[in-house]
Structure 1
Amino acid sequence: MAKRISLREFQESLVRRLTEAQTGDRRTLLGFQAGEENWLVELTDSGEVLPVPPLSPVPLTRPWFGGIANVRGTLYGVVDFSAFQQGAPIAPAGHARLLLIGAKHGVNSALLVSRALGLRSREDYDTDPGAPDPRPWVAERLRDHQNRLWLKLDTPKLLAHPGFLNAGIE
């Protein structure tokens, strides 16, 4: 169930966001954790982040396909983002969240992630000097000021990847 906020809280939040926009605080990335990896996605490519609703299983699908979620009358295919990348499966409880992606690209897809880590600014990261990641949906490897590795998600490449699109068992 959605959390209700008072009109006063909404107005204060709106004033704070407008002030941040005017002062140049450009938090254009959303941070999330999937398994053991930290990820960043452009806000323009992400949708809503919400607690995991009940998932309807789909038979004859790959283990990383979590099922179908009904979000306000719209059905989303749910992909366990960690398991999709051969990581440990994410339990759809506790801190786990659904990150709705793909609506901008005409795909009703949601990523099951371990936890949402909040809004981030590109200025908080430096390019990682290591070798590029072999996964085509990794746009960039970054390091934060605590030297933690972050991977930037290329949403269009993920949504177009044949492995991501083929959730059925052959």
Structure 2
Amino acid sequence: MSDKQALRDFQGRLAERLQAATQASGAEASWLAVEAGTARLLFPLDHAGQIFPWSAMQPVPYVRAWFMGVTNLRGNLCGVVDLAAFMGTAPAKPRSEMALAQCWLVAFNPLLETNCALLADRLSGLRTMEMFTESAPAPDGAPAYFGHLYTDNQGVQWQEINLQALSLDASFLSIGTTSSES
């Protein structure tokens, strides 16, 4: 029960911060900032769904290594993707159970019709356009789901991820593999 209360408290604080950011700057938050492996990513708020604490996965055989398994998120069976592993930015060593316990699952917005959640190593809060000093288009050859690359006031770069485009990406949808590939 305490986990449910902690999640409600977290979601309440996140909603309060969103409202406070809107009132203070007159601008709405545009992104949820997360860290996945070594990547700093921005998920458009209208693409992201609910945020859940890490929960145990039921492994699925014959899937790619980045597909962690399935879990029950508030009564919905969802696939869980290690986004860092999918993008090639995963830590060199596999995450321990203790490290996974600190992770979060960011579900896709139900409007995207994708029963999937992405593993985020860390939530970094909400971001508005005013928090960035530079913006550049995705580099040549970048995946179609890469949006702009933003640089914040501290010089840190954040890659926007279009979750709608990701949910339609052929490599993201191809979770299956033969037993020799996994």
Give 1:55-74 correspondences, 5 Å limit. 55-74=57-76
Contact kept in structure 1, 2:22 and 2:29, CA below 8 Å: no
Looking at structure 1, the residues matched to 118 and 7 of structure 2 have their Cα atoms a distance apart, in angstroms, of: 26
Give 1:120-131 correspondences, 5 Å limit. 120-125=127-132, 126-128=134-136, 131=139
Give 1:98-137 correspondences, 5 Å limit. 98-125=105-132, 126-128=134-136, 131-132=139-140, 134-137=142-145
Aligned length: 167
Looking at structure 1, the residues matched to 51 and 101 of structure 2 have their Cα atoms a distance apart, in angstroms, of: 14
2:46 paired with 1:44: yes
Q: Percent identity?
A: 28
AA partner of residue 32 (structure 1): V
- For residue 81 of structure 1, report the CA deviation from its aligned partner: 0.1
**Root-mean-square deviation (Å):** 2.8
TM-score normalised to the size of structure 1?
Answer: 0.85
Aligned residue number for residue 151 of structure 2: 143
- For residue 86 of structure 1, report the CA deviation from its aligned partner: 2.0
Looking at structure 1, the residues matched to 130 and 140 of structure 2 have their Cα atoms a distance apart, in angstroms, of: 20
Which of residues 138, 151, 162 is equivalent to 2:170?
Answer: 162
- For residue 135 of structure 1, report the CA deviation from its aligned partner: 1.6
Structure 1: gaps spanning 5 or more residues: none
Q: 1:16 to 1:82 in 2, by over 3 A?
A: closer
TM-score normalised to the size of structure 2?
Answer: 0.80
Looking at structure 2, the residues matched to 65 and 54 of structure 1 have their Cα atoms a distance apart, in angstroms, of: 13
Looking at structure 2, the residues matched to 85 and 15 of structure 1 have their Cα atoms a distance apart, in angstroms, of: 32
Contact kept in structure 2, 1:49 and 1:97, CA below 8 Å: yes
Contact kept in structure 2, 1:102 and 1:109, CA below 8 Å: no
SS in 2 for 1:38: strand
Q: 1:130 to 1:161 in 2, by over 3 A?
A: closer
Looking at structure 2, the residues matched to 120 and 85 of structure 1 have their Cα atoms a distance apart, in angstroms, of: 22
